[in-house]
Chains A and B, each alone.
Chain A
Amino acid sequence: MTIIIDAYCTPGTERETQLSPRQLLRMMDDAGIDRAVIAPQDREIAVCNIDGNQRILEMAEQFGERFIPACSVNPWLGREGNDIFSAAIEAGAKLLVLAPALQGFNLGDELTDELLALAGELSVPVYIHTGPHSSSAPSQLLLVAERHLSTHFILGHCGSSDYSHDMPAVFSVAPKNVWFEISLVRPWAMASYKEMADPSRFIFGSYAPRNDPRLELQYLNREMPRERYPQVYGDNLLGLFQGAKK
């Protein structure tokens, strides 16, 4: 039986991410999702990194194996940020989340270099939100991925929606340390994406509660049936976590 892991959920208390852990568990049960990565909410990603990391780690501890905790740190914090990141990993976080549009930096520049190198040293995969803004385009993610070949990157949302035009070019040259998370990728776009990259590179994520996990899985299953592409639903992500040192 294929394990289903949702690569990105935000159980939060604010704005469009108001979702209690129990509500998330109900959503997961309803959709048949075994485990989910849980990430800090927007304010915690932008400015309250320590509080957010702590909240997520406590939630993961409380609910055991169902939740996989992610952490975040704003690269503008520099060395202090590296310490916050290391502490979160020490405490059990499995994934580093960066959101350039929220955190106020341009992905293509050198600001993140120390943090990304540290993530590589700790074998912690880095999830980076990409989207239609100019601070986090898929092409910019390639720039940093090519500079940090020993760090594993997850290209969140595949640039949905308007950078979808870049994705064929991105798929064709992406280095081996880049995986593609597909929340916000619409089902019809996935129909063509699956022809452009190996299934071993795709990772299912719902982006709950912004999206409905059951609905997303239902439509993904039409384009990439679970029986035929089991790795997309969990194994690819699990492989990244198993490479982590902690």
Chain B
Amino acid sequence: MIIDCHTHWSMDQWPQNKPDPETWWDVPGRHGIDHAIVLPLAALTDDTKLQLENDRIHQVCRESNGRMIPFCSVKPSQGDPAVAELQRCTGKFHTRGIKIHPWLQGTCVNTSHMDRICEVAGDSGIPLLFHDGTPCVSLPSQIGLLARRHPKTTMILGHLGLMEHWREAISVMRKESNIWGCLCGPHVAAIKEILQRCDRSRLLWGSDYGFGNVDPIDYRLDLLKIQNLKHGDMEKILDHNPKRLLSL
């Protein structure tokens, strides 16, 4: 089984009032993906769309026969409204996680606003998936500090440091046991070292499908396949770990 832990669904790209999962799923389905974590997109750059996109994502995932797993987003710097929106999504939709994109959302990671979101997430038992790898508000080490303050909250480095901060991501994963990492961004040599030095039971794989009108899935899968991992390790990353993370 392959679970893609980093995809996006945008209300701008799929604007129908009654979202259709089949069209979106055409690409993942073609590549043999079984499930996908679905993150918001349009709302990350326009917070007036947050509620509506959260609604639509949960609606489209509900109609996907369990293939699409919804995450919501909130803008932490909004304070009370952000907490309220998160509570709405956990209460009404049983959202499976939260996506935070600090630089697109104009949000610093180490703030009291973010602490409140982490507390609610921790209490609800859902993970936060961060965009990471980009200064000056999305470094793995910044998310590591947040994780240290909230040891009961699970946090995912959505890109494991991207092209240049992957060594930092390794250090953070080795230090903070509540940090997981999604192989979605680093190059081949970085992936090799991440696999050697990080706890493989906290590694996930993702494609970033849905971010733009492109098909990144086969390339991202190939980056993992050429590592020649043992079958058991591939199963862990593509299947067992995400199931454990999400209690599937």
Contact = CB atoms under 8 A, between A and B. Distances in A.
Interface of A: 16-17, 101, 131-134, 157, 160-162, 184, 186-188, 191, 207, 209-212, 215, 219
A133 B161 CA distance: 12
A191 B189 contact: no
Contacts of A210: 187-190
Interface string B177-216: 0000000010111101100000000000000000010111
Interface residues of B, number: 24
Contacts of A160: 163
Q: Which of B103, B185, B188 has the most CB of A within 10 A?
A: B188
A25 to B, nearest CB: 18
Contacts of A186: 216, 219
B164 interface: yes
A93 B243 CA distance: 53
B135 A134 contact: yes
B226 interface: yes
Contacts of A101: 164
Interface in B25-62: none
Q: Is chain A's binding surface mostly helix, strand, loop or mixed?
A: loop
Nearest to B226: A212
B75 to A, nearest CB: 20
Contacts of A184: 163, 187
A23 B90 CA distance: 52
A188 B162 contact: no
Contact of A188 (B136, B193, B214, B226): B214
Contact of A212 (B103, B162, B163, B188): B188
Nearest to A19: B189
B135 A133 contact: yes
Contacts, number: 59
Contacts of A134: 135-136
B196 to A, nearest CB: 11
A118 B156 CA distance: 47
Q: Which of A101, A131, A187, A188 has the most CB of B within 10 A?
A: A188
A34 to B, nearest CB: 22
Contacts of B215: 188
Contacts of A132: 133-135, 162-165
Q: Which of B189, B212, B215 has the most CB of A within 10 A?
A: B189
B187 A207 contact: yes
Contacts of B165: 132
Given A186-B219, A191-B214, A215-B222, A161 B162 contact: yes
A209 B189 contact: yes
